[in-house]
Structure formats: structure tokens, C-alpha cells
Structure 1
Amino acid sequence: MKLRFEDNSIRLRLSEAEVTRFAETGRVSVVVPLGPTERESLTYALERSETEEFRITHGAGAITIKVPAALATKWTSTDQNGLSATLMMAQRQPLKVLVEKDLECRH
């Protein structure tokens, strides 16, 4: 899974295997070591949620994007390539969230 930050946006791109795992388990995550100990790492995850809105949680070295279950099911079971939302953060700053399938081209 690829993570990208740019200005006021966050983007996740999932491989075909990761999309399948997300569909089956409701969660996919990656741990990036940022130092010599396990505590010095960043975990980023995509998680299916029972809420009706996109959410982001963060803290203690982790960022989780939570996607409403109905949207997650539709996304993983169809040819739909992406999900997006704009969340209002502190000081009324918008944060664009994009989750995409990063599938190989098939000819």
C-alpha cells in the first residue's frame, strides 16, 4: 500500500492483493520503521467502519483512514477505482482523502 501526502491531501493506493485482503478482513496496514526500535515506526492503515462518514484517526505513530462499510463493500466488489472525501479539520482546513486501487494495466 502506498501513502502520499501533498498539501491538504492524503492518498492511499492499494494493490490488487491488498484490496482483496481489505474486502475479506476489513483492514489492511503497513508498518514503516523510522528508527532502531519498534516504537520508532509509522503504521498507516485503511479500515472498514460502521460509521456513515469517512474519518481519520492518528496518534502514537499511527494513521488510520476509516471508510464507511457500505462504500467499502461497493468499492471492493465493483470496477470502481477510487473513493474520495473532503474532511474539515482544525481551523476549518479541508483535507482531501483519496483511496484508490493501484492495479496493473491489463491489455
Structure 2
Amino acid sequence: MKLRTTNNSVRLRLNKDDVETMRTQNCLCCTILFPGEIASYFSYSLIATDEPEISMNYLTNHLRIYAPTTVLSKWYAEEEVGFSSEIITSGGDSFKILVEKDFQCLSPRAEDESRMFPNPNKHC
């Protein structure tokens, strides 16, 4: 699962294996271990929930994004690319969340893309 952040937004991209793990285990977690004498890390998770809305929290170096099972069920279908939500922070700012399938690039590159989804724009 890839994570991209920028100015009050988070985007998660999941390959085929990641989506299958979500479908079967209802949770996917990744951890980044940083070098140094003191062990430090950052974790992020996508978690299925019975709650009706997409939500998130950040506690003890762990970003958790909660997605309703109803939203996830629709997303597992091949034609669904992703889902998103906008959350208003306690300070009144907007925070955007986007979760999407990770597609193969249109131009060749040196990265293994065998576990990525076929790009829907491949046959324009």
C-alpha cells in the first residue's frame, strides 16, 4: 500500500494483493522504520468498519483510515477505481482522504507492475 500526503490530504493506493488482503482480513497495515539509534516508526492502516462514514485518527505514530464495509464492498468490484471523503478538522479546516486502486503506468518503467491493476486508459 502506497501513501501520499500533501497539504491536509492523504491518498492510499492499493495493488491487487493489498485489495485482496482488505477483502479477506478487513485491515491492511504498513510500517515505515526510520534509521537511528532510537527506534522510530510511522504506521498507517486502512480498516473496515460498520460505521456509516469514512473517518480517520492519528495516535502514537499511527494513521488509521476507517472505511465503511458498504463502501469497500462496492470498491472491490473491478470497475470501481476508488472512494474519497472530506472531513472537517476541529480547527475548521478541510482534510481530504482518497483511497484508490494502484494502476500500471502508461509509459514503461523499471518498476515491477505485475501486481498493479491494468490501467483503464490503456486503450484510449
TM (normalized to structure 2)? 0.79
Give the share of equivalent positions with the same residue, in percent. Answer: 24
Residues 8-38 of structure 1 show CA distances to partners (whole Å, capped at 9, x for unaligned) of: 2110000111011101110011010024478
TM alignment of 1:35-46, pairs within 5 A: 35-36=35-36, 40-46=40-46
- The structure 1 segments of at least 4 consecutive aligned residues displaced by more than 4 Å after TM superposition are 36-39
How many residue pairs match? The answer is 107
CA distance in 2 between counterparts of 1:31 and 1:37 reads 18
Which structure carries more relative contact order (alpha carbon 8 Å, separation 6+)? 1
Instruction: Answer 1 or 2: which has greater strand percent.
Output: 1
Larger fraction in helix: 1
Distance 1:39 1:56, change over 3 A: farther
Per-residue deviation, residues 43-102 of structure 1 (Å, max 9, x unmatched): 101000110011101111100100011001110134200100000112110101000000
The runs of 5 or more residues in structure 2 that have no matched partner are 105-117
Q: In 1, Cα distance between the equivalents of 2:37 and 2:100?
A: 31
Q: Which sections of structure 1, spanning at least 5 residues, go unmatched?
A: none
The AA in structure 1 aligned to 2:59 is: G
